[in-house]
Structure 1
């Protein structure tokens, strides 16, 4: 039986899918790809992480095969995005990063939740949550011949790892599912937005010696 919480999560999941797909549209536009390229980048960004997660967990057929609405959301976002980016009036710069942070938080929670539903350990739930949030973006960047953002100094995957840990720990401590969900989403979203606002980043690794 579907609860109200499940319905809200599902609606937010569709929103996150659209946001991630739109980020794929923007990268495709920057690389001057054709319409098919736009669709590919939109799709892999939006559903790539969840697809890999489901294949690893054995949750087949994968989620978008069971529910084709995900594909329709990706297609609609791709076509709408190609039209939107040509408008002379653009959205404020912070709208997409903030929406992306919310989508990242939600995808992390969904990935960790699904892993635990399949009886995995907490550490696997953290990995599956992180993969759900970032793997699609990694595939997108590789196809666009860019260094994936999660492999650089951006605080992105780190936020997912924190959220997955808090979600698993909250359930382990006996908190109800809704509280664990809110803790996870709040932690990932807050850390990601703080990183955007204050330009926070992780230290980088380099083999070059410092010049005194």
Structure 2
């Protein structure tokens, strides 16, 4: 049952992230190829980096369904994105859902590859954030990852909660995954709604050595 949940979560996460890529492409008035590229970069980018680091087969090369999902979402949004009002708001919330889900997915796959708890958490964050980073860089926008409000931290929290629940507390993986996704999404939602952010470094004059 948990394996089926992870597979569904993976496909849904790819679809959600691909949709955010398609929405950015629509805001940038790209052609159909641009939609496909943006959806694919966003949908599979983070997972590709994760798999390369873990030295495991890249998931979308092994299973073509992921590419079909990305391209299908791109085609759908090419024709219907104009019907989505306030696309940036939809982008933010869709990205928040994908962020929390992919963080858990990345952490779980890292655990299956016998990665330690810390590495699993970091790879969960990478899985959740690198697709959006690629999307924003290609589109010439400031990546959400680099904005002041909490973003990568939400992914880190989601992955950490999952790993702690499963490895330290012994919570069933399915329950741990649902709890971790809800926690990470709540953190990101707080950042969107209330502007939550971590303290930032403030530039100070350097020390003068004599």
How does the TM-score come out when normalised to structure 1? Answer: 0.87
Question: How far has the Cα of 1:112 moved from its partner?
Answer: 0.3
Question: How far has the Cα of 1:200 moved from its partner?
Answer: 1.9
Matches within 5 A, 1:111-126: 111-126=106-121
Matches within 5 A, 1:83-102: 83-87=79-83, 90=85, 95-102=90-97
Matches within 5 A, 1:53-92: 53-60=50-57, 62-87=58-83, 90=85
Tell me how far apart the structure 1 counterparts of residues 192 and 155 of structure 2 sit (CA, whole Å).
Answer: 15
What is the aligned partner in structure 2 of residue 128 from structure 1? 123
Give the conservation status (yes or no) of the 8 Å contact 1:53–1:128: yes
Pick one of 35, 39, 43 that aligns with 2:40: 43
Report whether the alignment pairs 1:183 with 2:184.
no
Runs of 4+ in structure 1 off by over 6 angstroms are none
Q: RMSD of the TM alignment (CA)?
A: 2.1
Tell me how far apart the structure 2 counterparts of residues 132 and 34 of structure 1 sit (CA, whole Å).
Answer: 27
Give the conservation status (yes or no) of the 8 Å contact 1:150–1:156: yes
Number of residue-to-residue matches in the alignment = 204
Question: How far has the Cα of 1:208 moved from its partner?
Answer: 8.2
* Deviations 1:60-91 (CA, angstroms, capped at 9, x unpaired): 1x11111111111101100101111223x637
How does the TM-score come out when normalised to structure 2? Answer: 0.87
Q: For structure 1, which segment, 136-145 or 45-54, has the greater mean C-alpha deviation from structure 2 after superposition?
A: 136-145
Tell me how far apart the structure 1 counterparts of residues 189 and 25 of structure 2 sit (CA, whole Å).
Answer: 24
Tell me how far apart the structure 1 counterparts of residues 26 and 93 of structure 2 sit (CA, whole Å).
Answer: 20
Matches within 5 A, 1:142-181: 142-173=137-168, 174-181=170-177
Compare the two structures and name the one with the higher helix fraction.
2
Provide structure 1 residue ranges, at least 5 long, that are not aligned to the other structure. none
Tell me how far apart the structure 2 counterparts of residues 33 and 170 of structure 1 sit (CA, whole Å).
Answer: 43
Report whether the alignment pairs 1:17 with 2:14.
yes
Provide structure 2 residue ranges, at least 5 long, that are not aligned to the other structure. 206-210
Give the conservation status (yes or no) of the 8 Å contact 2:23–2:91: no
